[in-house]
């Protein structure tokens, strides 16, 4: 295969391609409108392909070398035309020139598999036992390394997943403890503030109850020892007034005592809540699993809500008509009968 003339022709025209001024053919002075960004990388690949063709040209058929020569010649012609264009004409035809030059690059790329095939077959790579054995050894080593790498990746991933689960469990445990601690502290503060309010209420109604009872006893004693002798009609009138005053004071005293009893009941109820809230931290810390912790919290919340019967409040209501009922009976009994 005598390819020397064809190779010489390609060398000559390739030298002409390399001698072209890149600043002119790529219009580098035009900035964004230049061809450098669009064609520089493909142009360098084209150059390397031609250099390899010149190196192994003796294994390539003459007909294929003629096609390569024609491709290089067309490229030189296109680039030469671009270098001669004025700026306005170049900008108006820029897209067409980019398309034509890339088509030229693609023509060589389309022939490249055939060129490689001729070179490989001519050098006898397919029939060389040493190359085949090296290839088999290389493939075996690649398979072994791939298996080892996959096994290492699997082990590392399992280890990472295990560590991630442990960290997640630790974070969840700390978050639960922190949330529980914050909730318990908030509840303790609320119960403490409520306890002060209830204590103030108990003291207030205790004083009001004592004052009303003392007033009732004092007025009743005064009425008992002050018994003027009056006519029957006037006596009945004064008796009704005195009874109404005593009943009113007694109703006020009864109301104060009932509120005192309710306030004291709430005071003891809140004290019960406060004691349980102060013990929540100890109970929760004794839990081993999150399920046990949730169960303990549920029962403690139920204990806070359920106080039980303290014996102070029985659910009875005040009878508003009691005073009126007593006065009506008194008047009915002391009124003269016809």
**What does the pLDDT look like over 146-199, one tens digit per residue?**
888 888 888 888 888 888 787 777 766 665 555 555 466 776 777 778 788 888
> Which candidate, 34, 22, 38, places its Cα nearest to that of 87?
34
Yes or no: say if 236 and 276 are a contact pair by the CB < 8 Å rule.
Answer: no
What is the residue extent of each domain of the chain? 4-127, 176-334
What is the rounded distance in angstroms from the CA atom of residue 235 to the CA atom of residue 306?
Answer: 55
Only one residue has tokens 């503030």, namely: 193
Q: HSE (CB half, 13 Å, CA atoms) of 96?
A: 8
Q: What is the pLDDT of residues 232-248, one digit of tens each?
A: 667 777 778 888 888 88
Q: Whole-prediction pTM value?
A: 0.39
pLDDT at 337 over 60: no
What is the Cα Rg of the chain in Å?
55
- Average pLDDT across the chain, whole number: 77
Query: What backbone phi and psi angles, to 5 degrees, belong to 220?
Result: -65, -40
What DSSP designation does 49 have?
H
Q: Give dist(CA 195, CA 310) in Å, integer.
A: 17
Exposed (0-12), middle (13-18) or buried (19+): which is 246, by Cβ within 10 Å? middle
pLDDT of residue 93: 85
* pLDDT at residue 311 tops 60: no
- Tell me if 244 sits within 8 A of 223, measured CB to CB: no
């Amino acid at each position: 295969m005598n390819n020397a003339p064809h190779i010489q022709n390609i060398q000559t025209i390739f030298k002409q391609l390399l001698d072209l001024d890149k600043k002119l053919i790529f219009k580098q002075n035009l900035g964004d409108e230049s061809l450098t960004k669009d064609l520089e990388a493909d142009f360098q690949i084209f150059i390397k392909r031609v250099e390899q063709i010149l190196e192994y040209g003796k294994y390539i058929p003459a007909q294929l070398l003629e096609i390569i020569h024609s491709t290089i010649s067309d490229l030189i012609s296109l680039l030469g035309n671009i270098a001669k264009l004025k700026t306005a004409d170049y900008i108006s035809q820029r897209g067409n020139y980019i398309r034509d030059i890339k088509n030229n690059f693609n023509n060589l790329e389309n022939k490249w598999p055939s060129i490689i095939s001729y070179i490989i077959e001519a050098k006898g790579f397919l029939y060389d036992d040493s190359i085949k054995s090296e290839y088999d050894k290389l493939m075996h080593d690649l398979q072994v390394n791939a298996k080892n790498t996959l096994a290492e990746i699997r082990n590392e991933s399992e280890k990472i997943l295990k560590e991630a689960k442990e960290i997640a469990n630790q974070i969840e445990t700390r978050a639960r403890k922190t949330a529980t601690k914050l909730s318990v502290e908030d509840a303790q503060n609320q119960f403490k503030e409520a306890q002060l309010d209830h204590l103030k209420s108990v003291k207030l109604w205790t004083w009001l109850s004592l004052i009303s009872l003392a007033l009732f006893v004092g007025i009743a004693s005064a009425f008992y020892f002050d018994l003027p002798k009056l006519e029957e009609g006037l006596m009945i009138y004064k008796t009704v007034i005195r009874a109404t005053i005593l009943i009113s004071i007694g109703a006020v005293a009864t109301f104060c005592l009932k509120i005192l009893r309710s306030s004291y009941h709430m005071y003891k109820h809140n004290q019960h809540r406060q004691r349980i809230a102060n013990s929540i931290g100890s109970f929760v810390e004794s839990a081993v699993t999150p399920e046990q912790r949730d169960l303990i919290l549920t029962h403690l919340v139920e204990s806070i809500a359920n106080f039980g019967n303290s014996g102070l409040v029985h659910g009875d209501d005040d009878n508003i008509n009691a005073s009126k009922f007593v006065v009506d009976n008194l008047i009915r009994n002391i009124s003269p009968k016809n």
